[in-house]
Structure 1
Amino acid sequence: MVASQLRFLVAKTGMTDALVSLADTFVQDGGWPEGWAGVLGAIRSVNKEKAQDDIAALELLAERLRPQSLTDRITCYVTPQAWSALDLAELDFDEEHDYAAAENEINRICREIGTEIAADLDLLEQHASQLADAKSYRVSAVVSTIGEHVQDIDGAWEIIRDARPTNGDDDSYIIQAMFVNGLARQNREAAEAILDAALEDEAQHKNLIPMQVGVTLNAPGIERIIAATKLPTVPINAFARLQYNVDWQAQPAADFCRVLRAVADRENGFDIAFGILEVFAHRDKLKQEAIDPAVQEVAKELLFALPFDEKRRDKGHGVARVISTFLQAEDSAVATELCSKLLDAFATYAIYAGSYNEVVKALATKFPTIVLDILLERAADAQDRGYLFLTSRIGRVNHAASIDPDTMFGWAEEKPVSRYEALAHVVPIWEKIDGTSEDVTDLDEFSGALRWTETAKRLIRSAPDPIAILNTLLGRFRPSGWSGSLAAILEGRLPLLETMARDDDPRFAAWAKAAIPTYKREIENQREWEARDSRERDERFEW
């Protein structure tokens, strides 16, 4: 505790001599290895103050604290968390030093420590618990180096296998997986034997999957993973490591599909399997490689079974990527199922509608008619329809703009009375005068001048009851959420009515001329309210 706060104590109290004396007391009482990093941090903080006497005293103290023993070197270089107050790489990171260079140097020292331990199993036995307790990723450099260089593989593994953290059950850094990772580079056959034995040993099941993904995956590894999905003693959360620690594109597609299905079939495994697919979709999209039909098939299976529940209420981004990557135009049954469940989940507040805008966009792009049928026509009321299909939040995307206008209006013509009215709740209404459209801008809060979009004008002129459409569009002029002045936002939309008042169609012109006075009163009332509210707030804060 004192070591991590030493830089602040020195900089803020000015009691350098007293702190140096306290540090020497710690040294005499059995050593203070972590204090070395604390003193180095203090030197950095004092250096800015130009206190040369303090710097000199601290530099002498740092020299006395410099780690010499193996235990002290592990404490100083291996166990501190990255970017913490005791991270030596962070202490070297200033205008004259590159953090990456300092990091590389510390990793080199960690590998030296690993090589030293690998040569002496007594040292490994002495320090195994200390390594197991490490909360820093740098322990991997030490333990994988041990695996890479140790000669007595069986003896070393016996020590590593049985090492457990003494400070809790944290599985962030599993030294067994690190050892196997290094060992595989020295002797792959020995690493495979350890993995086979771990599959048969219930005591090792907790670490089996981390150990397996620590080595390049091969055919036996695939079989172990699938076998592990059938073992209740292998924690289900361990399979989440298959998301990021395996390059699935390097594996046969059939094996990838088998693993996905096996994980999905495990109790509480569906979300993990879908997470693996989400990461795969991200990588596949980046590489722009052809997708194997077998992978597409399993992706459709998982999408069809995907639940929209509270656990997934704000996780729409990954779902959208999977839809965009794997679904094709012929997959209408999957799209229909997704849209139906999406609408039900929104109606029951199981998901956050704003988190699923990308999902709606992905579906609307590939399956516009299905989206219109379900997410628009089936919606319970105008509010649900508008809130789900577009969104009035700042910076969001209006997904009605993702649908080709001809497709949209062709759909409306099939049931013109109801469908044109439904479209009035979701089509982009306006764009900036420069032509920037509503679907890519923060126009719900934009307070500048706007003009009608071509889609909105077509909607008005094509609808069987254009006045009803105009009334619905006018209702959307007031945003559901905003920052700044609402009066200014409303005023920016006034030119839309003024333009309509000059329309060649006398019906539209008459409607706009009748609407403008009421709308102007709304703007003025809002402006007066804002001014009154501002005065009242100023008075509350006057002293």
Structure 2
Amino acid sequence: MVRTAKSAPYLGNVGLDECAEHSKLQNVLVGLHPRDDFTEADLNRCAALLDEEGTQPRMFGPILWQDNYAHLPSERLLELARKLLTKANGSDTLLEALSMKLHGKDPLEDALGPELRKLGLKAAAKLLLGDHEDPGGSKDYSMECVIKSALSFDGNDAEKTEWVDAIFSHIDEKYGFIHSFEEAIETTAGLMPEAFLNRVFQGTDDQHHRRIYFIKKGGIRRSPLAKISVANLIAWCQQRDPPAIWGLVSSGIELWEKFDGNRGGTSMSTVAVEFLEAAPEPEVVLHAYADRVSPSSWSGSRADVMQPRADAIAELTQHKREEIARAARTVSDRLTKEIESERARERQEDEEWEQRFE
């Protein structure tokens, strides 16, 4: 009878060699070795299985991050990581292992080193382009941890560019709607704001349309630009000529804040106001804000949801800068008409509903 991993030292080299030949034991071979005395010869025995078609890479993950294996030569561990990257599902295993290696570490400490960071970027790009689903978000968690570390240190410029390329290839393929790996993408935007924003506005007309949709509505929980500071957004826009750029970028800003008070607890965020005040043509930005007054989902009356948001914009009619106050009056007039139209539609819909039961 084969013993468990805890009693594996009794297997001996001959027994472990036999396990390596057994089809039902090959995918648990690492765990059959003594954890406190795992040698380079043991690594050779296990790594040889990666050349077998049916070998699952998951069992190799602990070797890359657990302290029990830290004594192994670093070059051999890098060799294992490179090999995992070539295997099906190896990217998942590598990213999970690297995220575990980073767990609890000081973000200012380069816990991975340049070579593992490079492989982490490659693994992330491969996983993203592989169209893997991530319903629970665990892969996104691992990917975001590794990406955050990889982008926080200098070097690996080619791999960083490849990673950004992979993001926008994924966006284009998904027609701008991203439902997985959101945290990793947001973190990339926050740490590489200029490269990220540049890529949004590059490409063919079709790509441009999909990428703008991604900025406006592509994320499930929040805007993909959420981790880019408003200072960076303003600085990037100031380097571009068309005022319309400000309106497009503003669609990715967190617009509303909640508070206890009137208007249903809604006010315009300080970030949104700061961006507006920096814009060369405030009306362009305010119209972009107004486009987001109508909710994408709601219960009850949509007009009732729109009204406190419109009221928040209307407060800007008292702004100390006349061009902003004037633009706010124009946009507020527009919103008043839209809300009146929505209330009329709701009344008609209610009347038709009541008539069905008469």
User: For 1:392 and 1:299, how far apart are their aligned partners in 2?
Assistant: 25
- 1:528 deviates by 4.3
2:29 counterpart of 1:211: yes
Contact kept in structure 1, 2:167 and 2:185, CA below 8 Å: no
- 1:193 deviates by 1.9
Residue 492 of structure 1 is matched in structure 2 by: 308
Q: What is the RMSD of the two structures over their aligned residues, measured on CA atoms?
A: 3.5
User: For 1:334 and 1:483, how far apart are their aligned partners in 2?
Assistant: 45
User: For 1:285 and 1:538, how far apart are their aligned partners in 2?
Assistant: 61
Matches within 5 A, 1:43-442: 157=1, 176=2, 179-181=3-5, 183-184=7-8, 188-199=9-20, 201=21, 204-217=22-35, 218-219=38-39, 220-232=41-53, 235-236=54-55, 238-243=56-61, 248-252=66-70, 253-266=74-87, 269=88, 272-288=89-105, 290=109, 291-293=111-113, 294-303=115-124, 305-312=126-133, 315-330=139-154, 331-349=156-174, 353-375=178-200, 384-389=210-215, 391=217, 396-417=221-242, 419-433=245-259
- 1:332 deviates by 4.0
Contact kept in structure 2, 1:412 and 1:420, CA below 8 Å: yes
Contact kept in structure 2, 1:296 and 1:326, CA below 8 Å: yes
User: For 2:195 and 2:167, how far apart are their aligned partners in 1?
Assistant: 12
The partner residue of 1:454 within 262, 265, 270 is: 270
Q: Measured at CA, do residues 521 and 407 of structure 1 come closer, stay the same or move farther in structure 2, by a change above 3 Å?
A: closer
User: For 1:243 and 1:538, how far apart are their aligned partners in 2?
Assistant: 63
Contact kept in structure 1, 2:57 and 2:93, CA below 8 Å: no
User: For 2:179 and 2:314, how far apart are their aligned partners in 1?
Assistant: 33
User: For 1:336 and 1:247, how far apart are their aligned partners in 2?
Assistant: 26
User: For 1:416 and 1:455, how far apart are their aligned partners in 2?
Assistant: 22
Contact kept in structure 1, 2:117 and 2:146, CA below 8 Å: no
Residue 8 of structure 1 is matched in structure 2 by: none
Look up the equivalent residue of 1:212 and give its one-letter code: V
Residue 512 of structure 1 is matched in structure 2 by: 328
Q: Measured at CA, do residues 408 and 496 of structure 1 come closer, stay the same or move farther in structure 2, by a change above 3 Å?
A: same
- 1:351 deviates by 8.7
Contact kept in structure 1, 2:279 and 2:285, CA below 8 Å: yes
Tell me which structure has the larger Cα radius of gyration: 1
515-524 or 407-416, larger mean C-alpha shift: 515-524
Using CA pairs below 8 Å that are at least 6 residues apart, which structure has the higher relative contact order?
A: 2
- 1:538 deviates by 7.0
- 1:504 deviates by 3.3
Structure 2 length as normaliser, TM-score?
0.79
Q: Measured at CA, do residues 296 and 329 of structure 1 come closer, stay the same or move farther in structure 2, by a change above 3 Å?
A: closer
2:345 counterpart of 1:524: no
Kindly, what percent of the aligned residue pairs are identical?
17
Where in structure 1 are there 5+ consecutive unaligned residues?
1-156, 158-175, 436-446
User: For 1:213 and 1:306, how far apart are their aligned partners in 2?
Assistant: 26
Count of aligned pairs: 341
User: For 2:226 and 2:302, how far apart are their aligned partners in 1?
Assistant: 25
CA deviations over 1:90-113 (Å, ceiling 9, x no partner)? xxxxxxxxxxxxxxxxxxxxxxxx
Where in structure 2 are there 5+ consecutive unaligned residues?
none
Contact kept in structure 1, 2:218 and 2:224, CA below 8 Å: no
Q: Measured at CA, do residues 297 and 518 of structure 1 come closer, stay the same or move farther in structure 2, by a change above 3 Å?
A: closer
- 1:374 deviates by 1.4
Q: Measured at CA, do residues 245 and 317 of structure 1 come closer, stay the same or move farther in structure 2, by a change above 3 Å?
A: same
CA deviations over 1:67-126 (Å, ceiling 9, x no partner)? xxxxxxxxxxxxxxxxxxxxxxxxxxxxxxxxxxxxxxxxxxxxxxxxxxxxxxxxxxxx
User: For 2:47 and 2:176, how far apart are their aligned partners in 1?
Assistant: 32
What SS class does the counterpart of residue 373 from structure 1 fall into? helix
Contact kept in structure 2, 1:420 and 1:469, CA below 8 Å: yes
Residue 283 of structure 2 is matched in structure 1 by: 467
Q: Measured at CA, do residues 513 and 350 of structure 1 come closer, stay the same or move farther in structure 2, by a change above 3 Å?
A: closer
CA deviations over 1:221-273 (Å, ceiling 9, x no partner)? 311221111123xx13x32233469863432344432222222224xx2xx22
- 1:205 deviates by 3.0
- 1:353 deviates by 0.6
Look up the equivalent residue of 2:69 and give its one-letter code: Q
User: For 1:515 and 1:470, how far apart are their aligned partners in 2?
Assistant: 7
What SS class does the counterpart of residue 431 from structure 1 fall into? strand
- 1:400 deviates by 2.8
Q: Measured at CA, do residues 323 and 292 of structure 1 come closer, stay the same or move farther in structure 2, by a change above 3 Å?
A: closer
